[in-house]
Amino acid sequence: MVKRPVEDPRISAVEPGLRPMLRRLREIMAEPGDGQARLDKIVRQTAGLMVAEVCSIYLKRQDGNLELFATEGLNQSAVHNTFMKRGEGLVGRCAELAVPVNEPEAQSHPAFSYRPETGEEIYHSFLAVPILRGGDVLGVMTVQNKTQRDYSDDDVEALQTTTMVLAEHLVSGAVAGANTAAAFSRSVAHVVRGQTMSDGLALGHVVLHEPRVVVTDLRAEDPEAEAKRLDGAVAELKVSLDELLGGETMAEEGEHRDVLEAYRMFANDRGWLRRLKETAKTGLTAEAAVDLVQNQTRSRMLRQAEPFWRERVRDLDDLSDRLLRILAARKFGEGPKKDMPHDAILVARSMGAAELLDYDRARLRGLVVEDGSGQSHVAIVARALGIAAVGQARGVIERVDPGDPIIVDAATGEVHIRPTSDVIAAYADKARFQARRQRQYRSLRDLPAVSKDGQRVELHINAGLPVDMTHIAEAGADGIGLFRTELQFMIASSFPRIERQLQLYRTVVTEAHGKPVVFRTLDIGGDKVLPYLRRVQEENPALGWRGIRMALDRPALFRTQVRALIRASAGAELRIMVPMVSEASEVAAARLLVDREFELARRRGIAGPKTLAFGIMIEVPSLLFQLDAVMKMVDFVSVGSNDLMQYLFAADRSNDRVATRFDTLSPIFLRALGQVIDAGRRHKVPVALCGEVGGKTLEALALVALGFRSLSMAPASIGPVKAMIRSMHVKRVAERIRSLVTESDTSIRDTLKHFAEAEGIDM
Ligand code: PEP
Ligand code: MG
């Protein structure tokens, strides 16, 4: 048994036993011989050092059962012949709960499962410790004694240290051999379910955004020096968290702040700090101490009934990773941006929009984030980059290693980690099919969207970042129907000044190569949050101070943007569109501000655009009742169907529960759109649509039939919508739609779908 304490009850208790134990373990790992021989040596030496009559190792098999892999003390014939089902017996219980089981009288425990083949009836006391790596249980290590021994905390800790070393080697295959059960624990397939952030399908290999530090050096020569290193690292950790929380780019509220506040709370937790220091003094390196304490804390927290504590495990994992990184003198954000595989799928706990842009797009196929929703800024960037992305993928980090094969099916939100060959084959088929479709769409790239009866429909893309510009040509679009200028503001860490805005708009105008671009002025507020702007507390941000309301109340902001747009469009056409208009008077006020900027530029001799077109978005239902008034004041309008739908049905567009409750092919919505088309015709004002519905083939079919001749959508939708238009006969569909819209009370989706199928329209 480990020697009893002499002076300091915690520090000296383990040290004499632990150090030779670690040394001997490393020697065993380095010795030649097969995996089984190594396991046999490990149980023999652990039994000796812990003064136990029995020491055994059970490893988890692919089916989840535990198999006795090595023993000192039990019958050797039981090795590879004794199995425990999930949760069965004390060993199974230890694996299931991922916590140590310490029983002085094991045989009278209700969960005890007697196995005659092992000959264990003569042993009374029993200690089992899970073999953990990341969040996975690889197996269980036990010691047993004939006497009713009460294993001390030090005994538990000594066994945990052994399992920690063992776990690393198991995963590398160095102990149990590549073909044995131990080696594949890390290769078991997992499916994690999250939420779609950016649609798409990607097959590739894992690249960790913040790679874990793998602790390989376990034994320290000078425990005092290790404790000091740890002190220094903890101090640095606290400073870095304070800096992050106090930084000017940090919002007053929000998920990111909450997470960091939780980190800071843990970093100041005395119990955690004490355990770290005490563990370091036992002869482990500071890194190994952090790892060990984290494993112990994790199992304690996972044992708690309240979900709050189980959720906090993630925070503590992350905090330990940060501490390890400081100890390894590795900087944050020093991700593997350069040497990435060609089919990289980034896996991150959380990721900022700007960070994602740092990666090489040519090698990036997908993204999986533990936090992050479809509304987050990183999702916007993922969509702009055209990569498949899944958010809210809880538990993904602890399940993957760099280089693991992984499939991201963003349409369903499923992430397949180390998929089996069947799953890979099924997805590869799906990907091939999609690629074939993409090739078909590419062949339409240089053809216009003209219907069978000769109706030309302009197809534009929605954009907002410089990376979007190549999509015009790639997708075969007619231009940009909506340039969301707020995206630059949303992904920046501080407010972009006029020069930065000018620079972006110039790039956009140049790279559009003469194709039209509709610049929408800042649409901040509602779901569009700037991390560096203090938010005004609003009960209902979607109905609050946003879009044109903010622009008219803070004209300096609006005028600066218009000034930048004027300068950037020297010699070109400029199309400016204002969002969230709800009254004709706002149109007049905004137009006045724009005209004044033009006048000012002219007086100052600044070269301005060749022509100016001023337009508004129709996305607030009140405008439906002022259409004649506003049409007289503008050069064009564009329907923002995302917001129009949200306000018409009072259904929050970012709330999944209600967002899909009302169909975009409801006759009520289509009647509203028909009114806008009619008003546009009366006043000879072009009417476009730039919401998500324009990119869905069935919806686009209805829109074209209603009279829309300009749609703006995500670049990936251009191909399918173009193929649909080229196969439709507008007049025939228009006749059908008209009667459907006036006569139905419920969604016309099914009827329209059947009609389109019967017409042979390419959907
Ligand atoms: C809309 O509301 O439909 C729209 C296109 O604008 P955004 O999605 O940026 O609000
Ligand atoms: Mg909108």
Confidence of residue 15 (pLDDT cuts 50, 70, 90): very low
Helix (H, G, I), strand (E, B) or coil at 571: coil
* Domain end marker among 305, 327, 349: 327
- Which residues have CB under 8 Å from 201's CB, separation 6+? 388, 407, 408, 409, 410, 411, 427, 430, 431, 434
The answer to whether the CB of 485 is under 6 A from ligand 1 is: no
The average pLDDT across 553-565 equals 95
Residue 660 has pLDDT above 70, yes or no: yes
CB of 485 closer than 8 Å to CB of 528: no
Hey, is 460 helix, strand or coil? strand
397-422 tens-digit pLDDT: 878 888 899 999 999 999 999 998 88
Contact between 60 and 138 (Cβ < 8 Å): yes
In CATH, what number is assigned to the domain containing residue 314?
Answer: 1.10.274.10
580 C-alpha to center of ligand 2: Å?
A: 7
State the sign of the Cα–Cα–Cα–Cα dihedral 270, 271, 272, 273: positive
Residue 641 Cβ < 6 Å to ligand 1: yes
Could you tell which of 488, 578, 582, 642 is best to mutate to test the pocket of ligand 1, judged by most ligand atoms within 8 Å of the CB?
A: 642
Contact 650, 644 (CB under 8 A): no
Most confident of 42-46, 77-81, 137-141, 638-642: 638-642
Asked whether residue 185 is domain-assigned, the answer is no
d(CA 279, CA 285): 9
4 has a pLDDT exceeding 80: no
Which of 349, 419, 415 lies closest to 193 in space, CA to CA? 415
Q: Which residue has the higher pLDDT, 644 or 8?
A: 644
In this structure, what token pair is assigned to residue 635?
């050069």
Please say if the pLDDT value at position 331 is more than 90: no
For residue 186, is it within any domain? no
Euclidean distance between CA atoms 283 and 279, whole angstroms: 8
Q: Does the active-site annotation cover 690?
A: yes
Residue 216 burial (10 A CB sphere; 0-12, 13-18, 19+): exposed
Q: Are 441 and 722 in contact (CB under 8 A)?
A: yes
Ligand 1 centre to CA of 508 (Å) is: 20
The ligand minimizing its distance to the Cα of 482 is: 1
User: Of the bound ligands, which one is closest to the alpha carbon of residue 642?
Assistant: 1
> According to the model, what pLDDT value does residue 9 have?
31
Of the CA atoms within 13 Å of residue 729, those in its CB half-sphere come to: 9
Is 486 close to ligand 1, i.e. is its CB under 6 Å away? no
Same-domain status, 343 and 475: no
pLDDT (0 to 100) of residue 30:
75
- Measured from the alpha carbon of residue 528, the closest ligand is 1
> Residue 155: what pLDDT?
87
* pLDDT for residue 361: 85
Q: How confident is the model at residue 3 (pLDDT cuts 50, 70, 90)?
A: very low
* Distance from the alpha carbon of residue 88 to the mean position of ligand 1, in angstroms: 55
Q: Are 216 and 168 in contact (CB under 8 A)?
A: yes
Residue 714 has pLDDT above 50, yes or no: yes
- CATH number for the domain harbouring residue 561: 3.20.20.60
> Residue 721, SS3?
helix
Q: Is the CB of 520 under 6 A from ligand 1?
A: no
Burial of residue 677 (number of CB atoms within 10 Å: 0-12, 13-18, 19+): middle
Burial class of 381 by CB neighbour count within 10 A (0 to 12, 13 to 18, 19+): buried
Pick the catalytic residue: 169, 209, 377, 460?
Answer: 377
Q: Where are the alpha helices (DSSP H) in 306-376?
A: 307-327, 353-357
Residue 590 CA to ligand 1 center (angstroms) comes to 19
Local confidence band at 6 (pLDDT 50, 70, 90 cut-offs): very low
Q: Are strands 66-72 and 83-84 parallel, antiparallel or unpaired?
A: antiparallel
pLDDT (average), residues 185-190: 67
What 3-state class would DSSP assign to 257?
helix
Range of the domain at 289: 223-327
What is the DSSP pairing of strand 388-391 with strand 405-409?
unpaired
Question: Ligand 2 centroid vs 616 CA: distance in angstroms?
Answer: 11
The whole-number pLDDT of residue 172 equals 64
Q: State phi, psi for 251 to the nearest 5 degrees.
A: -70, 160
Tokens linked to 55: 């020491």
**Residue whose C-alpha is closest to residue 260's, from 243, 235, 272:** 243
Which residue of 550, 619, 711 sits with most ligand 1 atoms within 8 Å of its CB, as the best mutation to test the pocket?
Answer: 619
- To test the ligand 1 pocket, which listed residue (529, 617, 673) has its Cβ within 8 A of the most ligand atoms? 617
Q: What residue type is 133 in one-letter code? A: R
Confidence band, pLDDT 50/70/90 cuts, at residue 257: low
Which strands make up the sheet holding 83-84, listed edge to edge? 83-84, 66-72, 54-60, 136-145, 125-133, 101-103
Same domain flag for 322 and 423: no
Same domain, 263 and 306: yes
Ligand nearest to the CA of 639: 1
Pair (202, 227) in one structural domain: no
Residue that wins the pLDDT comparison between 629 and 467 = 629
Residue 469 CB less than 6 A away from ligand 1: no
pLDDT of 571 reads: 93
Contact 520, 505 (CB under 8 A): no
Confidence of residue 153 (pLDDT cuts 50, 70, 90): confident
| Contact between residue 415 and residue 191 where contact means Cβ atoms under 8 Å apart | yes
Residue 482 is classified by DSSP as E
Average pLDDT, whole number, for the chain?
Answer: 86
**Domain presence at residue 739:** yes
In CATH, what number is assigned to the domain containing residue 168? 3.30.450.40
Contact present, 386 and 201 (Cβ < 8 Å): no
Given ligand 1 and candidates 523, 639, 649, 676, which is best to mutate, with the most ligand atoms within 8 Å of its CB? 523
pLDDT digits (tens, 9 = 90+) for 459-470: 999 999 888 999
Task: Find the ligand nearest to 714 CA.
Answer: 1
Mutate to test the pocket of ligand 1, among 482, 518, 546, 645 (most ligand atoms within 8 A of CB): 482
Q: What is the DSSP letter of 670?
A: H
Q: What number does the ligand 1 atom closest to the CA of 690 have?
A: 5
pLDDT digits (tens, 9 = 90+) for 350-376: 887 777 888 888 899 999 998 777 767
Does 484 have pLDDT greater than 70?
Answer: yes
- The amino acid sitting at 383 is R
CA-to-CA separations, 96 to 121, 134, 144, in angstroms, rounded: 23, 15, 20
Cα–chain center distance at 317: 17
C-alpha 63 – ligand 1 centre gap (Å): 49
- Evaluate whether residue 285 is within a structural domain: yes
Sign of CA dihedral 601, 602, 607, 611: positive
- Give the ligand 1 atom nearest the CA of 641: 3
CA-closest residue to ligand 1 atom 1: 640
Choose the weakest-confidence range: 226-235, 504-513, 731-740. 226-235
Query: Which residue bears the tokens 């929380």?
Result: 245
Q: Whose CA is nearest to atom 9 of ligand 1?
A: 484
Share of the chain above pLDDT 90, in %: 50
Q: Is the pLDDT of residue 480 over 60?
A: yes
pLDDT for the residue numbered 619: 97
Closest approach atom of ligand 1 to CA 527: 10
Ligand nearest to the CA of 581: 2
Domains in the chain: how many in total? Answer: 4
The pLDDT score that the predictor gives to residue 497 is 92
Maximum average pLDDT range among 1-5, 189-193, 587-591: 587-591
In the three-class reduction of DSSP (H, G, I as helix; E, B as strand; rest coil), residue 544 is classed as coil
Q: Do 396 and 305 have their domain in common?
A: no
Pick the closest to residue 149 from 194, 183, 102 (CA basis). 102
242 and 139 in a common domain = no
Contacts 24+ apart (CB under 8 A), 296-299: 296/157, 296/160, 297/272, 298/98, 298/132, 298/135, 299/97, 299/98, 299/99, 299/100, 299/130, 299/132
Whether 640 is in the pocket of ligand 1, judged by its Cβ within 6 Å, is yes
Same domain, 587 and 700: yes
Residues 292 and 389 reside in one and the same domain = no
- Alpha helices by DSSP H, 367-522: 377-385, 421-443, 470-475, 486-491, 498-511
Residue 561 domain-assigned (yes or no): yes
Residue 697, token pair as written in the block: 């083939």
Is the minimum distance from the CB of 484 to ligand 1 under 6 angstroms?
A: yes
623 in a domain, yes or no?
Answer: yes
16 with 93, same domain: the answer is yes
Domain for residue 99, yes or no?
Answer: yes
DSSP bridge pairs for 531? none
What's the average model confidence in pLDDT over 483-508? 90
Q: How many CA atoms lie within 13 A of 124 on its CB side?
A: 8
CATH number of the domain encompassing residue 207: 3.50.30.10
Q: Is the pLDDT of residue 10 over 50?
A: no
**Domain edge (last residue) among 309, 327, 345:** 327
Residue 471 has pLDDT above 50, yes or no: yes
Q: How far is the CA of 522 from the centre of ligand 2 (A)?
A: 11
Cβ of residue 56 lying under 6 Å from some atom of ligand 1: no
Residue 3 lies in a domain: no
Q: Please give the average per-residue pLDDT across 425-448, as a whole number.
A: 91
354 and 460 belong to one structural domain:
no
pLDDT at site 332: 47
Q: Which has more pLDDT, 680 or 64?
A: 680
Does any ligand 1 atom lie closer than 6 A to the CB of residue 643?
Answer: yes
Which ligand 1 atom sits closest to the C-alpha of 643?
2
Task: Say yes or no to pLDDT of 308 above 80.
Answer: no
Nearest ligand 1 atom, CA 691: 3
Residue from 394, 391, 420 nearest 407 by CA: 420
Digit-coded pLDDT (tens) for 566-607: 999 999 999 999 999 999 999 999 999 999 999 999 999 999
Separation in Å, CA 270 to CA 223, 262, 312, 411, 698: 20, 14, 17, 45, 60
Which residue's structure tokens are 């993204």?
367
460 lines ligand 1 (CB under 6 A): no
Last residue in a domain, options 178, 200, 231: 178
| Cβ neighbour number for residue 372 with a 10 Å cutoff | 27
Residues 586 and 709 in one domain: yes
Do 319 and 428 sit in the same domain of this protein? no
Q: Model confidence over 276-304: pLDDT tens digits?
A: 888 888 888 898 899 888 877 877 776 66
By the 8 A CB rule, do 566 and 608 touch?
yes
Is 377 a known active-site residue?
Answer: yes
